[in-house]
Amino acid sequence: MPQYSFQDLKQHVGIDDVAYSLGYKLNRQAGVGRYIELMLPDGKGQKLDTIVISHPQQKERQRFFHRNGSSRGDVVDFVGENLSHFNKFGRNQWEVIAKVLADYANMPLGENADRNYANTLGYTPIVFNPKRYVAEKITDNHDYAKAVFAERGISESTLSVFSNHIKVVTDMKYKQGMPMIGFPYQEAGFDDELKGYELRGERGFKGKAAGTNSTTAMWIAGIPSALNNPENVRHVYFSESAYDAMAFYQANEKRIDLTHSAFVSIGGALSNGQVNGAMRHFKYAKAVDCFDNDLAGRIYGMRMAGLVDGKRLNIVKTGDSLRIEADGKKIEMPVKKASVKELTRQLNLSGRTEVWKPPSNYKDWNDVVRQMPMEALELKTKFQRDEHLSKIRQEMRQRKEPRKGMRL
């Protein structure tokens, strides 16, 4: 199967192609010419984001920037900002980006075993420059921080627990740069060198600082007595975003022992290096899958469970099944059964990975604290409805009980 470079893929995929598929709409009032403006609506008449794209008729030349000044770049950068929206998986962010672009271009992408994946695809990643960002303590920007976190249902008491691991940052490259919430990324077990930021802002804005290392670095949080003594940490709670990690703690505060806990955000796309680095550092801990309830979240948990046991999984969705390969063994798993529990049963895993998902009627932990359940399931019979309600009530009772352990 041929190998295509990012440059090859960019000939066939424009930023506008990706943006439209994510729900952006053309702002005709801004005109259509050398530039076009796309807006992302929130369904309530408000704008979540606005981007401007140059050279709309020439896909390979397209560049974009956000009106709020948060970031800019080409289609590779734009896909990288939105990886959590695509049901793709890989060893690192560059492999996932390549798979997303290949799908848009309808160009099958061969397997590549080279560790330096981005370079093999002809793309030189931007290196994070900490001097580009002014970072301030959230305690010095209390009103702004309080407002942003309140939008996500995060309480002031929860914010105080994690405040040492959160900054208010401004991108100084752009004159119109607005302050954003920054969750600093670092590599587990190394020094405190800053590797980037997971960025969040008002009205749903999200992204990452330019050049953020999402391959081996992550947001790592916890109280000082836990992080300064990694051998004492017994549970590492993995979430897809820092918001989700904070919401998970808030929803389960009475059942979590902070003195033996660490919290990790993978920033929307799980990489092998993040899991391996964190679990080497917290070597006596169990990994806890707090990922979303959707298929992507369940696959993240399965991949993590494999990595914790030294198995790198290759997972491909084919119709209503997942084709999983690990250590030369191939298994088929129905999508509806996809879970760490089923994977553990079929591959005889050690059990070092535990599962603490949101209640089944919520997509993620942030939706739990915001009291935003998914649409009611269409259940055909009274028996099914009663069974579903019983399961939800049981899950809610478990959240309120003192923590005695977890289930796979």
Q: How many helices (H) and strands (E) does the chain have?
A: 14, 18
Average pLDDT (261-265) is: 98
Residue 224 has pLDDT above 90, yes or no: yes
Radius of gyration of the chain (CA): 21
pLDDT over threshold 90, residue 226: yes
Rounded to whole angstroms, the Cα distance separating 33 from 27 reads 12
Q: What is the pLDDT of residue 386?
A: 47
Highest mean pLDDT among 40-44, 90-94, 187-191, 230-234: 230-234
Band of residue 176 on the pLDDT scale cut at 50, 70, 90: low
Q: Which of 34-43, 151-160, 208-217 shows the highest mean pLDDT?
A: 151-160
Answer yes or no: is pLDDT of 109 > 70: no
Residue 254, number of CB atoms within 10 A of its CB = 10
Q: What is the pLDDT of residues 8-43, one digit of tens each?
A: 888 899 999 999 999 899 998 887 788 999 999 876
User: DSSP letter at 185?
Assistant: E
Task: State mean pLDDT over 246-266.
Answer: 98
Cα 237 from Cα 289, distance rounded (Å): 7
Is residue 131 classed as helix, strand or coil in its secondary structure?
helix
- The answer on pLDDT for 385 being more than 60 is no
Query: What is the structure's pLDDT at 41?
Result: 86
Residue 176 burial (CB < 10 Å; 0-12/13-18/19+)?
exposed
Name which of 118, 75, 64 is nearest 271 in CA terms: 118
- 3-class DSSP assignment, residue 198: strand
The pLDDT of residue 255 is above 70: yes
Q: Answer whether 7's CB lies under 8 Å from 122's CB.
A: yes
Average model confidence (pLDDT) for the chain?
85
Take residue 259 and report the two structure tokens written for it: 């003195």
Q: Is 200 helix (H, G, I), strand (E, B) or coil?
A: strand
Question: Closest by alpha carbon to 268, among 240, 246, 304?
Answer: 240
DSSP element (H, E) containing 187? strand 180-187
Count of CB atoms within 10 A of residue 186's CB? Answer: 20
Beta-bridge mates of residue 323: 316, 332
Of the ranges 76-85, 204-213, 320-329, the best mean pLDDT one: 320-329
The pair of structure tokens assigned to 121 is 């695809």
Is the pLDDT assigned to residue 228 strictly greater than 80? Answer: yes
What local confidence, expressed as pLDDT, does residue 408 receive? 40
Task: Look at residue 9 in the predicted model and tell me its pLDDT.
Answer: 86
Q: Is residue 53 over pLDDT 50?
A: yes
Q: Which pLDDT score, from 0 to 100, does residue 376 have?
A: 43
187-201, 202-216, 287-301, 375-389: the lowest-pLDDT one: 375-389
With a cut of 50, say whether residue 403 has pLDDT above it: no
Contacts of 295 (CB under 8 A, 6+ apart): 87, 317, 335, 338
Return the closest-CA partner of residue 289 out of 276, 277, 298: 298
| Burial of 101 per CB tally in 10 Å (0-12, 13-18, 19+) | buried
Contact between 300 and 353 (Cβ < 8 Å):
no
Per-residue model confidence as pLDDT tens digits over 339-367: 999 999 999 999 899 999 999 999 999 99
Of the pLDDT bands very low, low, confident and very high (cuts 50, 70, 90), residue 282 is very high
Confidence of residue 252 (pLDDT cuts 50, 70, 90): very high
Band of residue 374 on the pLDDT scale cut at 50, 70, 90 = confident
294: pLDDT strictly greater than 50: yes
Q: Where are the beta strands (DSSP E) in 85-179?
A: 133-137, 167-171
What global pTM score does this model have?
A: 0.72
The residues, ordered by sequence, that sit 6+ positions from 261 with a Cβ below 8 Å of its Cβ are 222, 226, 233, 234, 235, 236, 237
Between these two residues, 205 and 254, which has the higher pLDDT value? 254
Q: What percentage of the chain reaches a pLDDT higher than 90?
A: 56
Which of 4-8, 167-171, 289-293, 315-319 is the least confident region?
Answer: 4-8
